[in-house]
Amino acid sequence: MSGLGLLAAGANVIMQLARPAVGYGVYESKVETGRLDRHPVKRTRTTLTYLAVASLATEDEKKHYRRAVNGAHKYVRSDENSAVEYNAFDPELQLWVAACLYRGFEDVYKALYGDLDPATQDAFYQRSSSFGTTLQMRRDMWPVDRDAFEEYWNENLNKVSIDDTIREHLYGIASATFTPKLLHPLVGPLNRFLTTGFLPQSFRDEMRLPWSERRQRGFDRSMRVAAAVNRVTPKVVRMFPYNFYLWDLRRRIVKGIPLV
């Protein structure tokens, strides 16, 4: 795992929330401290810790974090006033989120390291099931191989739909409006550029985010620079902040500090 993968974080959030049940589950969430737009530091910590746990933690540590996340997720369910029906414990929605995470990590890896050989990519794909099984997704729900995954992915693109309400919410994430206002003029356009660059075209269309060949060339140049920096960065630095959040999780478990 490379911390430079966070360059694609905004794009991955958009991909996940492009499914209406996921988008409204997050947008209408009653878990106040879990909202990125209101508590960006805490939300970032819990999300990055989850990724570190799913990818690097022991099975016992995953159980600890599953219980903690479940405690928050039990409040994330639709009611009679909700725009769509949703439930954070729905394993089908967790499969979609896990699929987006796998696709995002795959895209970032290729941008930083180039194409994987088939055997390595198969192994990476199978390990990525933990993005869902760390919660309620059953292992047998994960498409059996990469060909089956592509079939699942293409079929589920038909379920992607971003309305005006969720689009406005996601545009704020793409523009990094959760950062301090002083940074908005610099961080906003840069984050929106990187987010749009990592989005597949169908998601760009749903978000109404413009793109062009010129912007694609600029994005490709940026990724070549990032890859060059990544190659000469020591592993312990490359893995930051995931290694830090895994350390923090273990510290919290030992000291009895809430995990989310």
3-state secondary structure of 212: coil
Q: Which residues pair with 87 in a beta bridge?
A: 77
Instruction: Give the pLDDT score at 102.
Output: 96
Instruction: Give the pLDDT score at 110.
Output: 87
Backbone angles phi, psi at 6, to 5 degrees: -65, -15
Instruction: Give the pLDDT score at 109.
Output: 87
Instruction: Give the pLDDT score at 69.
Output: 94
> Could you please report the per-residue DSSP string of 238-259?
HTTTHHHHHHHHHHHHHHT---
For the chain, the 3-state helix, strand and coil shares in percent, each to the nearest 5, are: 70, 0, 30
- The structure tokens listed for 133 are 């099984």
Q: How many CA atoms lie within 13 A of 252 on its CB side?
A: 17
User: Where exactly are the structural domains of the chain?
Assistant: 3-255
What pTM value is reported for the model?
Answer: 0.92
CB count, 10 Å around CB of 14? 28
Instruction: Give the pLDDT score at 42.
Output: 85
Identify the CA nearest to 15 among candidates 194, 143, 161: 161
Whole-number Å distance between alpha carbons of 5 and 215: 20
CB count, 10 Å around CB of 226? 17
3-state secondary structure 113-163: HCCCCHHHHHHHHHHCCHHHHCCCCCHHHCCCCHHHHHHHHHHHHHHCCCC
Max CA distance (Å), the chain: 54
Per residue of the chain (260 residues), what is the pLDDT tens digit?
788 888 999 999 999 999 999 999 999 988 766 567 677 888 889 999 999 999 999 999 999 999 999 998 998 999 999 989 999 999 999 999 999 999 999 999 888 888 888 999 999 999 999 999 999 999 999 999 999 999 999 999 999 999 999 999 999 999 999 888 898 888 999 999 999 999 999 999 999 999 999 999 999 999 999 999 998 999 999 999 999 999 999 999 999 999 98
